[in-house]
Chain A
Amino acid sequence: MVDVVIGSCILVPIISGMLCFITGNQRIRAGIIVTTGILLTISSLMLFHTIQGPYLYTPDTLFGMNINSLISFADFALLFIILGIAFKRGNPLVILLTLLQIVPLAYFELKMAPHAEVTPAFYIDSLAIIMNLIISIIGSLICIFAIRYMEEYEHHLHLKKSRQPKFFFFLVMFLGAMNGLVFSNNLLWLYFFWEVTTFCSFMLIGHDKTEIAIRNATKALWMNMLGGVAFVAAIIFIYHNTQSTEYLSLQALIKHGPELMAALMLPLALLCFAGFTKAAQMPFQSWLCGAMVAPTPVSALLHSSTMVKAGVYLIVRMAPGYQGTFLSTMVATFGAFTFLTASALAVNMSNGKKILAYSTIANLGLIIACAGINTPAAIIAAVLLIIFHAISKGLLFLCVGTIEHAIGSRDIEDMRGLYNTMPAVSRITIIGILTMMLPPFGALMSKWMAIEAAATIPWVVVMVALGSGLTVLFWARWAGIFVSGPHLKVFESEGNEGFFAPFVTMFKGFYAKSKWKDPASIKVPLVTLAVAAIVLSLGVPWLYTSLVDPVLASYKPGLFIEPFKTNPMGLTSGAGAFYVLPVFLVSIIAYLAAVVAAKTKDHKVISAPYMCGEQYPDITQPKFRSHLNNWKDYVPANIYLQDIIGESKISYWINIVALIILIVLFGEVIR
């Protein structure tokens, strides 16, 4: 039974993707996508419920065909498709990188180790289940969001022929490939799914077929192909250095004995490098920033639950394999450096999607830094950050997409006072922002763990400290922008008085009157993710004992020490404590007090903002008296620090420093 569920997690999205491709009818396609989402959610919950401890599974045949050969065949088919595209586009770099994978892979599969059998093919433990839940639930919600979004999107474009079948083919198939990736234990299979995600993201980024879309898609392709080349090299070096196919099993690779450390060091470093490219770490950040030319659901999917998470998943997964080595320290340094620099770049962005993109890169850097710090507490921090980042970032991308459709801009300066016109979406966006940056929410809790774990490596903790200062800056300002604006009478709260009125207002907010008009396929994902971000943060003790803690059991069997203890209020560690519930309760009390204060009868005085007495008579309009008695619009703007840390100014230097870190990393490993 479990085997069937595992298979369906991978195959259902692939088959539904094909069905989406075939069908031309929008309704049927929507039905297929929703059904797939429900099926995936159910099967991931079933796996979570039934699998206790690692579950090993090696399927032999699929529809009567040998899977190993099938995957080898598909591998080459995929690579040749990419080669074909590269020839068609006349891109020598991609041709070279593809050939650098085809030739060694052919040599390996035909000459070096033909028909390598690696068992178990699938290894499903807590980490895989966490990833599976994230991919299946958040990924499905994003796909459901995409149904209506793409409909409106194409409506704006006035296309003759809908491109949606192809779009949903890749979007839905992506989930299957990701599930396969996190289940795989056979490195050859993992590599196959790895390449499928690269290819899917390439097709999705280039979806619009504009010049910039094609250029950015190609960039994403070659950067990720670089990781693919490293992956193939890692496979070959593993075999070459150990002369056995045993270590092509990810679990064997991680749990190798100390005598093999020297032999496996280079392959581990190469696999980490593949993870860096996929997770868009510096200096490969530009592909993920470029990826935002694609429709918003693509960004949401790439940034939250799939693609980049594959990169960090692999690095976190392999952490025990390189624990206590120079590589581990360098991985921590590299991750922390990316966290700091990406946060700095996010500060000088006014494009909402770009802020999200850099913040994603920063958070992935922090996850990688945690993997490099490589203590049990740090691994816990990494896993929690993967979970909470996926939820909040997925939510924020969907919010920005919804806002962009409504106001036609993704610039945060254009979102000033959006709370007055789109209260529901704004409120959810603010929740998304607060869950990324403030206690007691999970993302910050993982940051707490990360800093406590990083404290022993001074330069890492310094970079994390500076980086988190920068993150607060760009998040707080964005949240503030939403509520900025004059007081509008239209939205004044309804006159429901009485004892329960404050509670009603608490849930509805101050402006109860305006209705949220978006369709259900947009509402449901937004609300679900917002609620999940809050509830899971409160349920951190449960989350920790049932999901995250078991990850450690496989981290270092035998050397198992529990870094954190749970209690209903939060988590405590040997060196600290993080109380979730009290902080949350105090915040609720303060919010209630504010609502009560705002509801009292005497509270009717609304004044104009202070403009030295030169304010326009109508206080809803931000104007002031200028020279010659003209009324001038008053335009506020944020400080973006562009003259100090402008993207164009410092990106070059960031890339150089990142390259130096990588060179040092490989230099030491090869030596």
Chain B
Amino acid sequence: MNMVEIIAVLAALFLAPIIGGLVAGLDRRVTARLQGRYGPPILQPFYDVLKLFGKEKMIVNYWQIVCAYMYLAANILTVILLALQSDLLLIFFVLAVGGVFLVIGALAAESPYSQIGAQRELIQMLTYEPLLILVFVGIYLETGSFKISEIVANYHQPLLISLPLLFVVMGYAFIIKLKKSPFDIATSHHAHQEIVKGVLTEYSGPYLALIELSHWYETVFLLGLCALFWHTNYLWMAVLVVATYFGEVLVDNVCARLTWRWMLPHAWAGGLIMSFANYFWIFVKIK
């Protein structure tokens, strides 16, 4: 490991949760404004998590502890691998580890709410996982590599220009991963459309704090993926990331939660059609 890599790992470890927390704070503020409220202070998510860490440790089943830690570890690892500009597919698989343990943790508790949440989370994973693979395959077809380091080094124009439809497909996956309406089916930030707290029902205190922390890492990872689509210029990269996230918040506020029966076929059909169209475009361009 050289110096740059060590700095990247440290930044991923310590900077990512700060950014993720700030994004969460901004998110809440923007959402409040969209709903005609004033909203909490930007640092509110940090206060919340710190408070949760101080609470009593309460669990239903010991496996929840294992699962909370595994979920956190997997999400940290995705951010670190992203910072090290590693293989996109490997990062994707590590992301799946987090998802799987979140589900196992929810299934461990014998509560109807967390069980339903777990089943729904599984269907959400089923929806976004193929879409993300298709996006990464598209990136490979365009750039000739799955390694971020090589994409950044050898490909000298924004990916967004050649992969616009795949960017939209990734948007679908983002909505699910960021737990935004209309696809916040497993657990939602909007109390009015939630049955208890879905997949997170049985987590409380410090373990809920761990999950919240993991979600911040996750957010940073997703924003990093988004940034990859305009890696040539930092200003435009920032614009793209901010615009995408604002778009997600907007969608979150104008949509109501849908059922998984609607989500699965529509996301797959839309995702497949757009992926194929984009692949076709890449092939035509190469020819």
* Residues of chain A having any CB pair with chain B under 8 Å: 416-417, 419, 437-439, 444, 448, 451-452, 455-456, 458, 461-462, 464-466, 468-470, 472-473, 475-477, 479-481, 483-487, 510, 574-579, 582-583, 586-587, 589-591, 593-595, 597-598, 602-603, 605-611, 622, 634, 636, 638-639, 644
Please give, as numbers and ranges, the residues of chain B lying within 8 Å of A465 by CB-CB distance. 129-130, 133-134, 137
26 contacts between A and B (CB under 8 A): A417-B110, A439-B94, A451-B89, A452-B140, A466-B268, A469-B125, A472-B96, A476-B103, A476-B104, A477-B118, A479-B100, A486-B60, A487-B59, A576-B87, A576-B90, A576-B145, A577-B147, A583-B94, A591-B69, A591-B70, A594-B68, A594-B69, A605-B57, A606-B59, A622-B110, A636-B115
Shortest Cβ distance from B195 into chain A, in angstroms?
10
* Most chain B Cβ neighbours within 10 Å, of A458, A485, A510, A579: A458
**Most A-side CB within 10 Å, residue of B56, B106, B109:** B109
CB < 8 Å neighbour of B146 from A473, A575, A589: A575
Q: Is the CB of B202 within 8 A of A485?
A: no
Question: In the assembly, what is the distance between CA of A611 and CA of B109, in Å?
Answer: 11
Question: In the complex, what's the smallest C-beta–C-beta distance from B55 to chain A, in angstroms?
Answer: 10
**Contact A610 to B202, CB < 8 A, known contacts A481-B107, A510-B62:** yes
Q: How far is the CB of B117 from chain A (nearest CB, A)?
A: 11
Q: Is B42 an interface residue (CB 8 A)?
A: no
Q: In the complex the two chains form, what is the Cα distance from A437 to B268 in whole Å?
A: 22
Interface flag for B222 (CB, 8 Å): no
B104 to A, closest residue via Cβ: A480
Stretch at the interface among B156-164, B239-247, B248-256, B272-280: B272-280
B35 beta carbon closer than 8 Å to chain A:
no
Which of chain A's residues has its CB closest to B71's CB?
A: A590
- A618 CA to B122 CA, complexed, in Å: 30
B63 x A448 contact (CB < 8 A):
no
Whether the pair A598, B62 counts as a contact (CB closer than 8 A) is yes
* B104 adjacent to A439 (CB under 8 Å): no
Q: Which residues of A contact B65 (CB under 8 A)?
A: 594, 597-598
A608 to B113 Cα, complex, angstroms = 13
Is B86 located at the chain interface by the 8 A CB criterion? Answer: yes
Residues of chain B within 8 A (CB-CB) of A479 are 100, 104
A477-B66 contact given A438-B93, A452-B89, CB 8 Å threshold? no
Is the pair A579, B103 in contact by a Cβ cutoff of 8 Å?
no
A607 and B60: CB pair below 8 A? yes
Residues of B contacting A606 with CB < 8 Å?
Answer: 58-60
**Hey, which chain A residues are within 8 Å of B137, CB to CB?**
451, 455, 458, 461, 465
Which chain A residues lie closer than 8 Å to B97 at the CB level? Answer: 438-439, 583, 587
A462 lies within 8 A of B275 (CB): yes
Are B86 and A487 in contact (CB-based, < 8 A)?
no
A80 to B114 Cα, complex, angstroms: 60
Mask, B72-95, CB within 8 Å of A = 1, is 111011000000001111100110
Instruction: Please list the 6 inter-chain residue pairs (A to B) with the smallest Cβ-Cβ separation, ordered nearest first.
Output: A480-B107, A609-B111, A590-B73, A465-B133, A576-B146, A576-B87
Residues of chain A lying within 8 A (CB to CB) of residue B232: none
Question: Could you tell me if B130 and A438 are in contact, using CB atoms closer than 8 angstroms?
Answer: no
Q: Are B146 and A634 in contact (CB under 8 A)?
A: no
- Is B15's CB within 8 Å of the partner chain A? no
B61 lies within 8 A of A487 (CB): yes
Within the complex, which residue of A484, A575, A602, A634 is in contact with B147, where a contact is CB–CB below 8 Å?
Answer: A575
Measured CB to CB, the nearest residue on chain A to B102 is A476
**A496 to B99 alpha-carbon distance, docked (Å):** 33
Known contacts A470-B126, A594-B68; can you find 19 more A-B pairs with CB under 8 A?
A448-B90, A462-B134, A462-B276, A468-B129, A469-B127, A472-B122, A472-B125, A475-B100, A477-B103, A479-B100, A575-B146, A586-B77, A595-B66, A597-B65, A597-B69, A605-B56, A609-B114, A610-B196, A610-B201
From B206, which residue of chain A is reached at the shortest CB distance? A597
Give the complex CA separation of A644 and B123 in angstroms. 13
Q: Is the CB of B60 within 8 A of A575?
A: no
Judging by beta carbons under 8 Å apart, are A486 and B110 in contact? Answer: yes
CB < 8 Å neighbour of B58 from A419, A510, A593, A607: A607
Are A634 and B62 in contact, CB atoms less than 8 angstroms apart?
A: no
The reply to whether B93 and A439 form a contact with Cβ atoms under 8 Å apart is yes
Q: Which A-chain residue is minimally distant from B73 (CB atoms)?
A: A590
A611 contacts across to B, CB distance below 8 A: 111-112
B19 at the interface (CB under 8 A from A): no
List of B residues within 8 angstroms of A466 by Cβ: 130, 268
Chain A residue nearest in CB terms to B106: A480
- Distance (whole angstroms) from the CB of B141 to the closest CB of chain A: 6
* A604 and chain B: residue at smallest CB distance: B57
> With A and B bound together, what is the CA distance between A116 and B150 in angstroms?
55
**Chain A contacts for B108, CB-based, 8 A:** 480, 483-485
B104 and A462 contact, CB distance less than 8 A: no
| 0/1 interface trace, chain B 172-185, chain A, CB 8 Å (1 if under) | 00000000000000
Check B96 against A578 for contact (C-beta < 8 Å). Answer: no
Q: Does B144 contact A (CB under 8 A)?
A: yes
Shortest Cβ gap from A585 to chain B (Å) = 10
> What's the Cα separation between A354 and B126 when bound, in Å?
20
**Which of chain A's residues have a CB closer than 8 A to the CB of B61?**
483-487
What separation, in Å, do the CA atoms of A417 and B107 have in the docked complex? 10
B258-271 to A contact mask, C-beta < 8 Å, 1/0:
00010000001000
User: Is there contact, CB below 8 Å, between B107 and A477?
Assistant: yes
Partner of B110, one of A438, A484, A594, A597: A484
- A600 CB, nearest partner CB in chain B, Å: 8
B44 contacts the other chain (CB 8 A): no
Which residues of the partner chain A approach B114 to less than 8 Å between Cβ atoms? 609-610
Q: Are A448 and B93 in contact (CB under 8 A)?
A: yes
On chain A, the residues within 8 Å of B111 by CB distance are: 609-611
CB nearest neighbor in B for A511: B62
B140–A579 CB distance below 8 A: no
Q: Is B193 an interface residue (CB 8 A)?
A: no
Is B125's CB under 8 angstroms from A473's CB? yes
Q: Which residues of B contact A470 (CB under 8 A)?
A: 126
Q: How far is the CB of B207 from chain A (nearest CB, A)?
A: 9
| Chain B stretch 174-215: residues in CB contact (< 8 A) with chain A | 196, 201-202
What residues on B are CB-neighbors of A582 within 8 Å?
Answer: 77
CA A483 to CA B63, docked complex, whole Å: 7
With beta carbons under 8 angstroms apart, the residue of A468, A576, A591, A594 that contacts B130 is A468
